Amino acid sequence: MPQADKRRATHRLTRRTYSLTSRRGPSWPMIMLGLLAAACAAAALAAAGFALVTSRENSKKADALCAPPMSEREIREQLSKARIALDHEVATRLVLQQQATDSAAEIHQMRTDLAFIKKQRDKSN
């Protein structure tokens, strides 16, 4: 009986071998579909890279803004250092102003002495 089954028409129709590849070459729409899929994948990778870079920059900015507040002791130390620096600057300015005043007075005295000496020299010649 098995030989009779092999000769049956319905049996012969189902004895085909099937493969996952087509017997024809790739068609134009399939090539375009593949190119479109490749372009979409490249665009998705580029967008993911851009998002990664942007998120890193934003997280750095957020970290800088969300720094823990300074303690009261640190604020007092900075304030005292700033006051010392300001006092030093005020003292330095006062000294420089006094030196400028003294120098101006000395220059004025030297000019009057020079004018007197020139008059004496002119009289003697």
Confidence class for position 123, pLDDT limits 50, 70, 90:
confident
Half-sphere exposure of 39 (CA within 13 A, CB side): 6
What is the number of H-type helices and E-type strands within the chain?
A: 4, 0
Rounded CA-CA distance 81/97 in Å is: 24
DSSP string for 68-85 = PPPPHHHHHHHHHHHHHH
Segment 18-73, tens digit of pLDDT: 666 666 666 777 888 889 999 999 999 999 989 888 888 877 776 666 667 778 88
SS3 36: helix
Rounded CA-CA distance 58/29 in Å is: 43
